[in-house]
Amino acid sequence: MLKHFLQFKDFTRAEHEYLFERARVIKARFKRYETYHPLADRTLAMIFEKSSTRTRLSFEAGMHQLGGAAIYLNTRDTQLGRGEPVEDAGKVISRMVDIVMIRTFEQDIVERFAAHSRVPVINGLTNEYHPCQILADVFTFIEHRGSIQGRTVAWIGDSNNMCNTWLQAAEVLDFKVHVSTPPGYEVEPERANLHGTGHFEVFADPLDACRGADLVTTDVWTSMGWEAENEERLKAFADWQVDADMMKRAKPDALFMHCLPAHRGEEVSGEVLDGPQSVVWDEAENRLHVQKALMEYLLLGKLEI
């Protein structure tokens, strides 16, 4: 059956665990400079309606390293940007390539594309979710600290696509998220598409949210698409900067993550981002390895580890 990865909960816990294992194997081979071309002759189309550094690079380099090819399409210079229906684009693009990654605005756009696609579709970030990033983040946590089951993640800041995806991951992988957002920017459980299994708790004070956390994480105050609210958000989020004081409330061995790009002095202090608890560079690198495992799984199914 055709499989897509449009939100974190599209995969079961067993599937995620397989991906983490597979990513470990693929990463180790890559570090040994071993050639591994299971996707020879396969083509990935990458459709971008928003900017990107990491997502483009990790998918494009990843596909190349797996023996395939990647094609970059930007809305500005495709017919999508001139109003071609996304359903038609899904039908046409999926007749020419083997797998598609899309970064766009509303989740509905990737859902509609996927509904008309003959090939697997991956969400490379929407307004609602960023599932590939959370795959990398959980994999990074596992590399540094072991299983995330039963652990506590503190989410500080905006209830954006990253936050929603952490909340979904908590339900799928059975860990807890402490969320603290400024008033007016609270989590919307329906938008996050949660089962409501009690895997998150809301804290008015970000310092309280950090208490006992194994991982503290945040993201930009103004996501792509919300630029018009930037000034207002700078004021509203001023007390939600992850700084050394917040990190002190977490467990002594707590990690810090940020999907990047980061704004030092806004959502995170330079001291924390560049400090000893930060694993943001491993986190960024791991996009490459988990997405190679993801593409391999979507195209070839489960392989012997």
Size of the site for ligand CP (CB under 6 A): 8
The conformation of residue 268, written as its DSSP 8-state character, comes to B
From 4, 54, 103, 258, active-site residue: 103
Long-range contacts from 222-225, C-beta under 8 angstroms, 24+ separation: 222/158, 223/127, 223/158, 223/160, 223/161, 224/50, 224/51, 225/50, 225/105, 225/127
Indicate the DSSP class of residue 240: G
The answer to the question of residue 165 lying near ligand CP (CB under 6 A) is no
Residue 269: contacted member of ligand NVA, ligand CP, none (CB under 5 to 8 Å, by partner type): none
Q: How far is the CB of 111 from ligand NVA (least distance, A)?
A: 18
Per partner kind, with CB cut-offs from 5 to 8 A, the member of ligand CP, ligand NVA, none near residue 220 is: ligand NVA
Nearer to ligand NVA, 69 or 236 (CB): 236
Quick check: is 133 catalytic?
A: yes
**Per-residue string for binding with ligand NVA, 124-163, x by CB under 6 A?**
-x----------------------------------xxx-
Supply the minimum distance, in Å, between the C-beta of residue 278 and ligand NVA: 17
- Taking residues 24 to 63 in sequence order and writing x for each that binds ligand CP by CB under 6 A, - otherwise, the string is ----------------------------xxxx--------
CA nearest 101: which of 49, 53, 160?
49
Indicate the SS3 state at residue 101.
Answer: strand
Report in angstroms how near the CB of residue 161 gets to ligand NVA at its nearest. Answer: 5
Which residues have a Cβ under 8 Å from the Cβ of 168 and sit 6 or more positions away?
7, 8, 9, 129, 131, 134, 192, 193, 194
**Segment 165 to 224, residues that bind ligand NVA, using CB under 6 A:** 219-220, 223-224
**Which secondary-structure segment (H or E) carries 290?**
helix 280-300
Find the residue with minimal CB distance to ligand CP.
55
* Contact present, 71 and 93 (Cβ < 8 Å): no
Nearest distance in Å: CB 304, ligand CP: 31
Whether 254 contacts 247, CB under 8 Å:
yes
> Closest CB to ligand NVA belongs to which residue?
223
- When the beta carbons of 1 and 228 are compared against ligand NVA, the nearer one is 228
The token pair at 125 is 């970030």
Q: How is the beta sheet containing 176-180 ordered, strand by strand?
A: 200-202, 176-180, 152-156, 215-218, 255-258
153, 176 contact by CB (below 8 A) = yes
Give the bridge partners for 48, in sequence order. 74, 103
Report what 278 binds from ligand NVA, ligand CP, none; CB cut-off 5-8 Å by kind: none
- Rank residues 39 and 101 by Cβ distance to ligand CP and give the closer one: 101
H/E segment holding residue 231: helix 230-236
DSSP output for 164-226: HHHHHHHHHHT-EEEEE--TT----HHHHT----S-EEE-SSHHHHHTT-SEEEE--SS-TT-
Q: Which does 162 bind (CB under 5 to 8 A by kind): ligand NVA, ligand CP, none?
A: ligand NVA
Q: Report 244-263 residues binding ligand NVA (CB under 6 A).
A: 259
Q: From the list ligand CP, ligand NVA, none, which binds 168 (C-beta under 5 to 8 Å, kind-based)?
A: none
Binding site for ligand NVA (CB under 6 A): 125, 160-162, 219-220, 223-224, 259
Binding site for ligand CP (CB under 6 A): 52-55, 125, 133, 259-260
Active site residues: 103, 130, 133, 219, 259, 287
